[in-house]
Amino acid sequence: MRLDKWLWAARFFKTRSLSVDEIGKGHVELNGQAAKPSREVRVGDRITLRHGPVVRSIVVQALSEQRGSASAAQLLFEETPESIERRSQQALARRLNAEPSLTIEQGRPTKRDRRQLVDWNRWSASAEPD
């Protein structure tokens, strides 16, 4: 069975074209090697997927030619314990790290604040030069 079709059937990607794109970008490895969309998948193969910062390692348990329900898709693969532990640590780190936008105390100054920030007094125009 083709790798792109299996990834689609296992519900890792919404469409086959999305799975082909991600494989082409190098975000999918099969048994530790760079993969092509047409690469054959067999039971027992190890697939490494990268979705943004999250890296998942899974082992193929079954093959399916068609896309089924989510519960049926979960029977097609098993995630390795190391991968589950790594994902939980990354999720915890994201939760504990402060959001960069929260460090801004006031946000954008209002029109009144901008007027007060100006060092010179623009309304004191005099007819005589200084």
Terminal C-alpha separation, the chain: 86
Q: What is the pLDDT of residues 86-120, one digit of tens each?
A: 999 998 988 888 777 666 666 777 888 788 777 65
CA dihedral 24, 26, 31, 32 (to 10 degrees): 150
Average pLDDT, the chain: 87
DSSP 66: S
- In the β-sheet with 28-30, what is the strand arrangement from edge to edge? 33-34, 28-30, 46-51, 54-60, 77-79
- Per-residue model confidence (pLDDT) at position 16: 93
In this predicted model, what pLDDT tens digit does every residue of 66-86 receive, in sequence order? 999 999 999 999 999 999 999
Paired residues of 128 in beta bridges: none
Does domain 3-93 match CATH 3.40.50.720? no
- Give pLDDT tens digits for 14-30: 999 999 999 999 999 99
Single out the residue of 17, 59, 24 nearest to residue 39, CA to CA: 24
Q: For 109, left (φ over 0), alpha (ψ -120 to 50), or beta?
A: beta
> Per-domain residue ranges for the chain?
3-93
CA 83 – CA 42 distance, rounded (Å): 20
Q: What is the pLDDT of residue 101?
A: 65
What pLDDT score does 115 carry? 80
Kindly tell me if the per-residue pLDDT of 48 is higher than 70.
yes
| Residue 130, pLDDT above cutoff 60 | no
Q: How far is CA 27 from the centre of its chain?
A: 11
Is pTM beyond 0.85? Reply is: no
What is the structure's pLDDT at 102? 65
